[in-house]
Amino acid sequence: MLNKEELDYFQNMLEETKVQILSNLDSTSSELNTLRDNSPRDEGDHASMQRGQSLGNTIMLKQADKLKAIERSLKRIENETYGICDSCGEAINIERLKVKVFADYCISCREIIEQENA
């Protein structure tokens, strides 16, 4: 189990990452609006605009996923279950949490899940 200081540290990291993602989402969607406002006249422009949009959407989806994971982790800090693997219930290595602050699973479970999804 993580101590109070460690939990504070991760909570700060999560809050900071959250703010970052929210501002990323903001700038991505305003870029998309700019793309949309430049109404294209020929097919080439149209195609490149669509590419830009789907790229933007992919980025936004990824960011939105990350945001959800962060919200989940913040909830877990509240419920005092943060840092515990969602699958096996073992403590997640703190070094792993530092790299991936919103990790849901320990390394062994993550590997199993990735193999199943592969």
- Binding stretches for Zn ion (CB under 5 A): 85, 87-88, 106, 109
Q: Per residue, what are the HEC states of the chain?
A: CCCHHHHHHHHHHHHHHHHHHHHHHHHHHHHHHHHHHCCCCCHHHHHHHHHHHHHHHHHHHHHHHHHHHHHHHHHHHHCCCCCECCCCCCECCHHHHHHCCCCCCCHHHHHHHHHHHC
Give least dist CB 97 to Zn ion, A: 13
For Zn ion, the closer of residues 32 and 92 by Cβ is: 92
To the nearest whole angstrom, how small is the minimum distance from the Cβ of residue 85 to Zn ion? 3
Q: Comparing C-alpha atoms, which of 22, 10, 14 is closest to residue 69?
A: 14
User: Toward Zn ion, which CB reaches closer, 32 or 85?
Assistant: 85
How far apart are CB 63 and Zn ion at their closest, in Å? Answer: 26
**Closer CB to Zn ion, 101 or 106, in the complex:** 106
Residue 18 beta carbon to Zn ion: minimum distance, rounded to whole angstroms: 25
CB 92 within 8 A of CB 108: no
In terms of CB distance, is 39 or 117 closer to Zn ion? Answer: 117
